[in-house]
Amino acid sequence: MKTLLLSFFTFLMTGSLFSQVVVSELKRVGARKSIMHRDSSGWKRTGMFILNVNQSAQSDWSGGGENFMIGINAILNKAIHNRSGKYTFDSYFDLELGVVEAASFNEFRKTSDRIDITFEAEHSIGNKGHFNYGILGNLNTQLFAGLNYSKVGYPKTSSFFSPGKILLSVGIDYKDINTFHYFSIFATPLTFRWITKIDDDFYNSKKFGVDSSRKVYKEVGAYISAHYNYKISKTFGIISRIDLFSNYKRNTQNIDLLLNNVISFAISKYFTASIIIDIVYDDDVKKRMQVQQITGMGLRLRL
């Protein structure tokens, strides 16, 4: 319960982290509201690619430290929206990969690795289009193997679709869209989720909630997913996403959590400063909250 409350607090605080800046920016550009611009065929595409690189070097430095270190982190965030009459189609693509190399271990080591794809197909309720009903599908996994560098031999802890999560849900969605922000919250009491463990190295062990000698575990539960994209100004924006899932079949009170936040501030047309905060809780994977934070400056491209 403490984990859930802390996560909701973090989500809300992220959305209001720069509230004073938001007020001043909205006053500057005018508090006008209009429907998010779409092309003639009803499509709206938003997204960005961020590439952060950091490097350090030293020689005979009395304070100690790594003689050489380089880190690279790439993030792809893409959203595609389409409206045709009362039907809406939304897709979200979140890809992240980071590596670091230092003189002491003389190899690249993975620091972040995430693939997350969501698709929604919905029909509006009423004429205003805020409330919709429909289906939602989600896929979450990683690309490369995860290793425990603190242990001898670097034992493998995870890999492609180990774990993997595939989710299919039917529910109600609320959307609020204007020039400055995109907000969507999808909720349902009935969701099917499949946890995969396809790596043969894990087949004979119970891992990620999947029993030994099995590669898939099916869950049924309640699910909430919220997306928030706030374009405060031409140079400053926030993208947040939170997912909550409660498994009816096992430990219902232990709610799985996925929270992603990307805060970016454009320095110039192609360069940006960014803060990335990821919070994950899944007691089948690890019985405590996992937190990852990345701050950097680098190349940014609008997609």
Q: What is the pLDDT of residue 39?
A: 53
Kindly give the parts of the chain with pLDDT less than 50: 2-37
Is the bond leading into 155 cis (omega within 30 degrees of zero)? no
Q: What is the pLDDT of residue 284?
A: 87
Q: What is the pLDDT of residue 173?
A: 95
Is the separation of the CB atoms in 92 and 227 below 8 Å?
yes
Tokens 């898939």 identify what position?
Answer: 216
The burial of 158, by beta-carbon neighbours within 10 Å (0-12 exposed, 13-18 middle, 19 or more buried), is given as buried
Is the separation of the CB atoms in 216 and 193 below 8 Å?
no
